[in-house]
Amino acid sequence: MERTTIGLLFGAGALAAAVGPPLVGLAQRTISAQRLSAAGAALAAAGLAAAAFLESPWLLAAALAVIGMGAAGLLTPTLTMIADIAERDDPPAYGTLYALYNLAYATGLAAAPFLAGLLNQATAFTSATLTAAAVAALAAAALLRPAGEAARGERPSTS
Protein backbone atom coordinates (compact mmCIF):
# COMPACT_ATOMS: atom_id res chain seq x y z
CA MET A 1 0.00 0.00 0.00
CA GLU A 2 1.34 3.45 -0.90
CA ARG A 3 2.22 6.00 1.77
CA THR A 4 -0.38 8.44 0.46
CA THR A 5 -3.09 5.80 0.74
CA ILE A 6 -2.05 4.98 4.30
CA GLY A 7 -2.19 8.69 5.19
CA LEU A 8 -5.66 9.01 3.69
CA LEU A 9 -6.85 5.95 5.60
CA PHE A 10 -5.76 7.38 8.92
CA GLY A 11 -7.12 10.76 7.89
CA ALA A 12 -10.59 9.20 7.55
CA GLY A 13 -10.41 7.90 11.10
CA ALA A 14 -9.00 11.15 12.44
CA LEU A 15 -11.67 13.23 10.70
CA ALA A 16 -14.42 11.08 12.18
CA ALA A 17 -12.80 11.30 15.62
CA ALA A 18 -12.74 15.11 15.26
CA VAL A 19 -16.32 15.48 14.01
CA GLY A 20 -17.72 12.95 16.48
CA PRO A 21 -17.33 14.69 19.87
CA PRO A 22 -19.62 17.66 19.11
CA LEU A 23 -22.25 15.28 17.75
CA VAL A 24 -21.95 13.03 20.80
CA GLY A 25 -22.14 16.08 23.05
CA LEU A 26 -25.44 17.05 21.44
CA ALA A 27 -26.75 13.50 21.73
CA GLN A 28 -25.86 13.50 25.42
CA ARG A 29 -28.68 15.95 26.04
CA THR A 30 -31.17 13.12 25.52
CA ILE A 31 -29.14 9.91 25.89
CA SER A 32 -27.24 8.94 29.02
CA ALA A 33 -23.45 9.12 29.04
CA GLN A 34 -23.27 5.45 29.93
CA ARG A 35 -25.41 4.37 26.96
CA LEU A 36 -23.51 6.64 24.57
CA SER A 37 -20.19 5.22 25.76
CA ALA A 38 -21.51 1.67 25.32
CA ALA A 39 -22.73 2.54 21.82
CA GLY A 40 -19.35 4.09 21.01
CA ALA A 41 -17.48 0.98 22.16
CA ALA A 42 -19.85 -1.23 20.16
CA LEU A 43 -19.39 0.96 17.07
CA ALA A 44 -15.60 0.79 17.44
CA ALA A 45 -15.82 -3.00 17.83
CA ALA A 46 -17.86 -3.26 14.62
CA GLY A 47 -15.40 -1.06 12.73
CA LEU A 48 -12.44 -3.07 13.98
CA ALA A 49 -14.09 -6.37 13.07
CA ALA A 50 -14.82 -5.08 9.57
CA ALA A 51 -11.30 -3.68 9.16
CA ALA A 52 -9.87 -7.12 9.90
CA PHE A 53 -11.29 -8.49 6.65
CA LEU A 54 -11.32 -5.54 4.25
CA GLU A 55 -8.80 -5.15 1.47
CA SER A 56 -10.22 -2.24 -0.50
CA PRO A 57 -8.67 1.06 0.64
CA TRP A 58 -12.05 2.79 0.27
CA LEU A 59 -13.86 0.26 2.45
CA LEU A 60 -11.00 0.29 4.92
CA ALA A 61 -11.27 4.11 5.09
CA ALA A 62 -14.97 3.70 5.88
CA ALA A 63 -14.17 1.18 8.62
CA LEU A 64 -11.58 3.55 10.11
CA ALA A 65 -14.17 6.33 10.07
CA VAL A 66 -16.54 4.04 11.97
CA ILE A 67 -13.76 3.32 14.48
CA GLY A 68 -13.14 7.08 14.84
CA MET A 69 -16.80 7.79 15.49
CA GLY A 70 -16.88 4.91 17.95
CA ALA A 71 -13.89 6.36 19.80
CA ALA A 72 -15.63 9.72 19.97
CA GLY A 73 -18.78 8.02 21.26
CA LEU A 74 -16.80 6.20 23.91
CA LEU A 75 -14.48 8.95 25.12
CA THR A 76 -16.68 12.07 25.05
CA PRO A 77 -19.30 10.88 27.58
CA THR A 78 -16.63 9.33 29.79
CA LEU A 79 -15.73 12.78 31.12
CA THR A 80 -19.33 13.30 32.21
CA MET A 81 -19.35 9.97 34.01
CA ILE A 82 -16.08 10.88 35.76
CA ALA A 83 -17.56 14.21 36.89
CA ASP A 84 -20.64 12.42 38.24
CA ILE A 85 -18.44 10.04 40.25
CA ALA A 86 -16.22 12.89 41.48
CA GLU A 87 -19.23 14.73 42.88
CA ARG A 88 -20.06 11.83 45.18
CA ASP A 89 -17.16 12.85 47.46
CA ASP A 90 -17.11 15.88 49.73
CA PRO A 91 -15.12 17.77 48.60
CA PRO A 92 -15.44 16.50 45.03
CA ALA A 93 -12.47 14.41 43.85
CA TYR A 94 -12.17 15.92 40.35
CA GLY A 95 -8.37 16.17 40.37
CA THR A 96 -7.81 12.60 41.48
CA LEU A 97 -10.29 11.08 39.04
CA TYR A 98 -9.16 13.15 36.05
CA ALA A 99 -5.55 12.23 36.87
CA LEU A 100 -6.49 8.53 36.90
CA TYR A 101 -8.41 8.96 33.64
CA ASN A 102 -5.42 10.64 31.98
CA LEU A 103 -3.09 7.94 33.34
CA ALA A 104 -5.31 5.19 31.93
CA TYR A 105 -5.66 7.00 28.59
CA ALA A 106 -1.91 7.62 28.24
CA THR A 107 -1.11 4.05 29.27
CA GLY A 108 -3.51 2.77 26.61
CA LEU A 109 -1.99 5.04 23.97
CA ALA A 110 1.48 3.77 24.85
CA ALA A 111 0.73 0.08 25.42
CA ALA A 112 -1.93 -0.72 22.82
CA PRO A 113 0.20 -0.19 19.69
CA PHE A 114 3.06 -2.14 21.25
CA LEU A 115 0.81 -5.04 22.27
CA ALA A 116 -1.03 -5.00 18.94
CA GLY A 117 2.31 -5.07 17.13
CA LEU A 118 3.44 -8.08 19.15
CA LEU A 119 0.15 -9.85 18.48
CA ASN A 120 0.33 -8.94 14.81
CA GLN A 121 3.83 -10.43 14.53
CA ALA A 122 2.87 -13.55 16.48
CA THR A 123 -0.34 -14.20 14.55
CA ALA A 124 -1.56 -11.87 11.81
CA PHE A 125 -3.24 -8.53 11.24
CA THR A 126 -6.66 -10.19 11.24
CA SER A 127 -6.11 -11.82 14.64
CA ALA A 128 -4.73 -8.64 16.19
CA THR A 129 -7.61 -6.56 14.87
CA LEU A 130 -10.24 -9.08 15.94
CA THR A 131 -8.68 -9.15 19.43
CA ALA A 132 -9.04 -5.36 19.60
CA ALA A 133 -12.65 -5.72 18.42
CA ALA A 134 -13.32 -8.26 21.18
CA VAL A 135 -11.86 -5.93 23.82
CA ALA A 136 -14.07 -3.09 22.54
CA ALA A 137 -17.13 -5.37 22.57
CA LEU A 138 -16.37 -6.39 26.17
CA ALA A 139 -16.10 -2.72 27.11
CA ALA A 140 -19.50 -2.09 25.51
CA ALA A 141 -21.03 -4.95 27.47
CA ALA A 142 -19.48 -3.71 30.73
CA LEU A 143 -20.84 -0.23 30.10
CA LEU A 144 -24.35 -1.60 29.71
CA ARG A 145 -24.22 -2.85 33.29
CA PRO A 146 -26.37 -0.67 35.55
CA ALA A 147 -24.19 2.11 36.99
CA GLY A 148 -25.18 1.74 40.62
CA GLU A 149 -24.55 -2.00 40.68
CA ALA A 150 -21.21 -1.62 38.91
CA ALA A 151 -20.07 1.07 41.35
CA ARG A 152 -20.91 -1.15 44.32
CA GLY A 153 -19.43 -4.27 42.71
CA GLU A 154 -22.80 -6.01 42.67
CA ARG A 155 -24.07 -8.33 40.00
CA PRO A 156 -26.93 -7.05 37.82
CA SER A 157 -30.34 -8.18 38.98
CA THR A 158 -32.07 -10.81 36.87
CA SER A 159 -35.61 -9.72 37.61
CATH number at residue 105: 1.20.1250.20
Residue 93's CB is within 10 A of a number of other CB atoms, namely 16
In a domain, 159, yes or no: no
Please report the pLDDT score of residue 159 as a whole number. Answer: 44
Per the structure, the count of domains in the chain is: 1
DSSP state of 123: S
Evaluate the omega torsion of the peptide bond into residue 146 and state whether it is cis, within 30 degrees of 0.
no
Domain containing 143 equals 3-149
Please report the pLDDT score of residue 89 as a whole number. Answer: 82
pLDDT digits (tens, 9 = 90+) for 50-94: 999 998 999 999 999 999 999 999 999 998 899 988 888 888 889
Query: Do 76 and 36 meet the contact criterion of CB atoms below 8 Å apart?
Result: yes
| Torsion from C-alpha of 89, 92, 93, 97, nearest 10 degrees | 100
Please report the pLDDT score of residue 22 as a whole number. Answer: 94
In a domain, 155, yes or no: no
Query: Do 97 and 82 meet the contact criterion of CB atoms below 8 Å apart?
Result: yes
